Amino acid sequence: LWVATDGQGPKATGRTDGLWAVDTEGEARATSKLFFRVPIGAEMCGPLFTPDDQTAFVAVQHPADGGEDWEAFGRPSYYEDPST
């Protein structure tokens, strides 16, 4: 099972958005694993998989925006000096 987060970001959860793989069978059932994480301040939408399930595409919206609001980063994000 694939789970994509899009929304609250580091302010609410302490994590950036990402793509998670969740096992649905066996002893590891319901165990989630972070597969892909977007940059600080970005949002993830998607994902889209190729028909053979060998490749995943994700859309990353506005990377490097809003990093200054995240305490762990601690400084503004600019084009010349992005937060990611």
In a domain, 77, yes or no: no
Which percentage of the chain shows pLDDT scores above 70? 65
In a domain, 84, yes or no: no
In a domain, 28, yes or no: yes
Name which of 27-41, 48-62, 69-83 the model is least confident about: 69-83
> Between these two residues, 37 and 69, which has the higher pLDDT value?
37
pLDDT band for position 49 (50/70/90)?
very high
Domain tally for the chain? 1
Using a 10 angstrom Cβ sphere, with 0-12 exposed, 13-18 middle and 19 or more buried, the burial of residue 77 is buried
In a domain, 81, yes or no: no
In a domain, 45, yes or no: yes
Domain that holds residue 28: 2-69
CA distance 19 to 58: 9
Average pLDDT over residues 24-47: 86
Which pLDDT does position 55 carry in this prediction?
94
In a domain, 75, yes or no: no
Which tokens in the block code for residue 8? 């609250």
In a domain, 26, yes or no: yes
